[in-house]
Structure 1
Amino acid sequence: MLGSRALIFITICILAVSYISYIKYPEACDYPLGIKAYYSATKILTFLADLSLRLGGKYLTPYRISEHDYSAPVEGIEVSIHKFGGVKTTVITPTGFGDNGGESAIIYYHGGGWALGGIAIYAAYLKKLSKESGMVVIVPEYRLAPENPYPIPFEDCLHATLAFVNIAKTFKVNPKKIVLAGDSAGGNLATAIALRLTNTRNTKLNPCMLNVVYPVLQMSNFMLPSYQQNRNPPLLTPPIMAHFFLLYIGLEKETKLITPMTHNLHMEGIKDEILLKRTSPNWIPDTYKKREYEKPKLRPTENEMKLLKTYKKKLQKFANDTTFAPLSASDEELKLLPRTHILTCEYDILRDDGIILYERMKKLKLDVSQQNLEFGAHGLLSLYGAVTYDKLDNAVAYMISQMKHGLSKC
């Protein structure tokens, strides 16, 4: 029999976990239990990450020790491990690929804020994506920040991509039928690589298509409508996004920069006003601005502002680096991008990053399409193949159809 003290302790623990993991979902987010459990577990990990940091540990430790491949083998799918350009890379191939007319490939760069993730937690999603699309899926396991800060993750992905293209035919892949794809930070990497390849002479690869899912595309505007409408989303808050930016650029310990960044104070005094115009809320159609806005609750302290003065120019330099922040690209650079499809989620701070890219490309009369999931939150697509949710299945089916439409033009 448990004593009264033990029962009180257990009760307190249950109440604490319930409080920490509670998420108030918008009415449109009619998720099944499996998806809600994922978001609640992630919220607990975020709490533990903050606690680890306060206790002198590393912010990423709770996330990384929880990473595990829970996916079951998928019938009709073969998985192999290779090294392309010195980068460990997973190749997911539909059985019989190449014998039944298949010749297309998706090079997929995983998300995780450049500091987390990998094939382990994306396995179910990418296996099903390969099976449903009938395409080979190539997944570079790029080195992660902060141990390997920018530009190392980008360079790993670029090297793996070019190395695969050189031997694509040995995998029965037509080098002219390749889609560059990714979600979140992986969407950032995919877009940056597409910009690098299409704006470089004598490149070994002219990608047929770019397909990005709620991509991170800028660090200059934390006050876009989607940031203000989603202060407490199921996943990825503005402070967490700012923290991952700092991890990516090697400023892991400078967490006092987070609050000033979420107020856009890191961009004050920037001389290049063209950059601010490229990430302006004026690009966002009014239909996305109807939901209620909420300003940041925390105000920067005096010590935080002093630290910002030390790093402001460095942060502005990164914000204006096309490889780091693709929305900083000029119209001339964007004009060279291949056919592009952009998927965004309504309940996601990164929604407007994708919308701005879409609107800018559309104004330039480029071949671009967009789908915004009215029921979607950040991270949702990574659960494709792991849970059953008809709306998600239909959304991915449409995305695949857009990829096939783009590939048909190459």
Structure 2
Amino acid sequence: MTQQSSMHYRLSEEMQSLVYWSSIYSPADDDIDSIRAAYDAMCLHYTLPRDGTVNIEDKTVPQLNHPVNVRLYSPLGEAPATGWPCILYLHGGGWMVGNLDSHEFITRYLCRDLNVAVLSVDYRLTPEHHFPAAYEDCETVYHWLYQHGLQWKINPNQIVLMGDSAGGNLAAALAVQLQHTGAQACGLAMIYPCLSSGFDTASCQQQADAPLLSLADMHDYLQAYAPNTSDWQDLRLSPLLAQDFSDMPRSFIAVAEYDPLSDDGRIFADKLKQANIATEFYLGKGLLHGSLRLVRDCPVVQDLYQRMLSSLKPMFN
């Protein structure tokens, strides 16, 4: 994850702090265990201790070949008779890092602030598991929830797909695949998602050396996740290439200004709007990729979060 080039950007104090702490938690070497250990430590830095404001339970979604571990956050009160509305949260991390702990800085607060269940997914990671393993795990969890959600007091008809970065990729890919199945999610929310494999947008060129995520980093992540280039046109990897957006759910997409992936989210939002899908697009001015972690510390990220909450609420109606 690139640290250089921050001097070329007019970064706020909060963004400079994010770059600094990301460099403090840089891995000792290129070994995947070192990379994950550094990422986990960085995530912990931004995660407050649990405070008892929501119920938290680790569970497993049964699947014959590969059961998937998940973490369920649910409000403290009595569940509605139809079950809690639910956000299925897919974490970022380049399909390579991240786990059930890494994004608790956001999942707990979504549960508390929206009074809905949040289910985060511990999907398989690369390099041990290549495309489409991560996608298939997320799809498995969604279909299980859709069929059996009431077992966990979740309303199967009120599931919103949500993810950041690589998780946004997985959420968008799943929504594209769910079109015309009769089992579409009731909403889609993405923060600085990667949605294609071409990396030929204007933002990829203009923000190629952005701090925290460079274009070179994205190439490395993509090649690690999908080493077979024949997969790069697969809509489960590059949902931006879909020709049909007519049965997509109501959507919220936020991007960071200083991010090679910025145009992915913008173009996807435009395609949704052209298909008459209710869509809100948010450009985080001055933000870097990964800045969602500063949700408590940065006014722009706090604004993004509040706009996202406002956009999520009607998805559950």
Distance 1:234 1:22 in 2: 6
Partner of 1:24: 7
Q: Choose which of 21, 38, 42 in structure 2 pairs with 1:41.
A: 21
- Whose radius of gyration is greater, 1 or 2? 1
The question of 1:396 aligning with 2:300 is answered: no
| Aligned amino acid, residue 123 of structure 1 | E
User: How many aligned residue pairs are there?
Assistant: 306
Q: Choose which of 215, 218, 225 in structure 1 pairs with 2:193.
A: 215
Deviations 1:353-409 (Å, cap 9, x if unpaired)?
00111112222222222111113210111343xx4223322210110110112222x
Deviations 1:200-239 (Å, cap 9, x if unpaired)?
x4x5x3210111111111011x231111221332211000
| 5+ long unaligned stretches in structure 1 | 1-19, 252-313
Distance 2:294 2:132 in 1: 28
| Aligned amino acid, residue 359 of structure 1 | D
Deviations 1:75-119 (Å, cap 9, x if unpaired)?
311110000131000001121152699831100000101111112
Distance 1:229 1:21 in 2: 15
Q: Give the deviation of 1:45 after TM superposition.
A: 5.4
Aligned-CA RMSD value:
2.3
Q: Quote the sequence identity (%).
A: 26
Deviations 1:232-287 (Å, cap 9, x if unpaired)?
322110000000001101x3xxxxxxxxxxxxxxxxxxxxxxxxxxxxxxxxxxxx
Partner of 2:55: 78
**SS of residue matched to 2:200:** coil
- The question of whether the paired residues in 2 share the 8 Å contact of 1:88 and 1:140 is answered with yes
Deviations 1:32-70 (Å, cap 9, x if unpaired)?
3xx544422334656x57xx34xxxx3x33321221444
- More strand per residue: 2
**SS of residue matched to 1:92:** strand
| Aligned amino acid, residue 129 of structure 1 | L
The question of 1:162 aligning with 2:143 is answered: yes
Q: Give the TM-score normalised by the residue count of structure 2.
A: 0.88
The question of 1:111 aligning with 2:20 is answered: no
The question of 1:230 aligning with 2:213 is answered: no
Distance 1:64 1:335 in 2: 38
| Aligned amino acid, residue 34 of structure 2 | P
- The question of whether the paired residues in 2 share the 8 Å contact of 1:72 and 1:124 is answered with no
Distance 1:62 1:44 in 2: 14
Q: Aligned in 2, Cα 1:323/1:39: closer, same or farther, shift over 3 Å? A: same
| 5+ long unaligned stretches in structure 2 | none
Q: Choose which of 34, 37, 45 in structure 2 pairs with 1:62.
A: 34
| Aligned amino acid, residue 238 of structure 1 | L
Partner of 1:406: 315
Partner of 2:251: 340
- The question of whether the paired residues in 2 share the 8 Å contact of 1:319 and 1:328 is answered with no
Distance 1:178 1:382 in 2: 24
**SS of residue matched to 1:174:** strand
Distance 2:109 2:184 in 1: 26
| Aligned amino acid, residue 99 of structure 2 | G
Q: Give the deviation of 1:173 after TM superposition.
A: 2.5
Distance 2:78 2:120 in 1: 17
Distance 2:213 2:275 in 1: 31
Partner of 1:193: 174
- The question of whether the paired residues in 1 share the 8 Å contact of 2:82 and 2:154 is answered with no
- The question of whether the paired residues in 1 share the 8 Å contact of 2:193 and 2:264 is answered with yes
Distance 1:97 1:142 in 2: 29
The question of 1:206 aligning with 2:206 is answered: no
| Aligned amino acid, residue 149 of structure 2 | A
Partner of 2:271: 360
Partner of 1:376: 287
- The question of whether the paired residues in 2 share the 8 Å contact of 1:110 and 1:122 is answered with yes
| Aligned amino acid, residue 399 of structure 1 | M
| Aligned amino acid, residue 372 of structure 1 | L
Partner of 2:219: 242
